[in-house]
Amino acid sequence: MGFAIITDSSANLTDEQIKNYDLHILSLEFLVDGASYRGYTEGEKTDNKQFYEMMRKGKVVKTSLVSLNEADVTLRSSFEKGNDVLYLGFDSAISGTYDAVSMYMEKVQRDEFPERKLRCVDTLAAALGQGLFVVEAAKKREQGAALDEIADWALFNRLKFAHWFTVDDLNYLQRGGRLSKGVAIAGTILNIKPILQVDFEGRLVPVEKVRGRKKSIQALYEKFAATAAEPKNAQPVFISHGDCLEDAEELAGLIRENHGVTNFVINDLDPVIGAHAGPGTLALFFISAEDR
């Protein structure tokens, strides 16, 4: 008897990671011009470049939570095979997905599968920060750790997964209520690029401001240099980007050249998250020496 690890498409994991670590993905959805699209479908790849180009042309993108029907099918499939389940969910301060899915799963387990074990953990993580968290949990499963052991580790260590972001267009943060309209307009005129962090409560909060894209990339690098756990060269470093691969590679290059890191994962920012942050979003994730 083993246990399954279920997470959400918001984790931005690559197809290779999902397959190699035997992960089960629940898909969030996004809507453009009334048409609904899945953030993740096994065996299919969303054309994220086209998605971000639509945003640049002014298309309004709406997002929705994981379908409880999909959560039901995935959970039952694991339980009916005799497996227990660990659900590592999308940051509850950013999305209602974790609360909805965990409550539903717990009811199904309690009412219909009392012999099976279910642990649900709010990762307080997003994008490849959530992905890094899930991968580290999956590695522990590979090493023989039990479900409860990993769930307890997850609760104790989730704040060690650092999340640093910058955005290229302040208007998307303004639409999402993260900035006032006046601040967004002034910041755009002055070419201000905010540096944001997912804090200890899972909230996306501005920490500092710099002028220009190059300085914002440098600022993300400096967060790694100042706060990453030692040895830095053994760090797994994950980078999500909203159709700005060159910037992601520039950031990875700074970390590689100055700290000898070789373990990078760079992937597109999931459209469900990208819809709120916009094209040009750049996000850096690593394990911090201290809690965020």
Provide the pLDDT for residue 103.
98
pLDDT tens sequence across 52-102: 998 899 888 888 999 999 999 999 999 999 999 999 999 999 999 999 999
pLDDT, residue 60, reads 85
pLDDT at 42: 87
CA-wise closest residue to 173 among 240, 90, 273 = 273
CB of 1 closer than 8 Å to CB of 83: yes
Query: Which parts of the chain have pLDDT scores under 70?
Result: 1, 173-190
* Confidence (pTM): 0.93
Encode 123-152: b = buried (16+ Cβ within 10 Å), e = exposed: bbbbbbbbbbbbbbbbeebeeeeebeebbe
Contact of 31 with 37, CB cutoff 8 Å: yes
Residue spans of the domains in the chain: they are 3-158, 160-287
CA torsion angle 106 117 69 26 (round to 10):
110
DSSP 278: -
- Which residues have C-beta within 8 Å of that of residue 200, sequence separation ≥ 6? 124, 159, 291, 292
Q: What pLDDT score was predicted for residue 180?
A: 58
Question: How far is it, in rounded angstroms, from Cα 175 to Cα 153?
Answer: 36
State the pLDDT at residue 291: 94
Architecture of domain 3-158: 3-Layer(aba) Sandwich (3.40)
Write the CATH number of the domain with boundaries 160-287. 3.30.1180.10
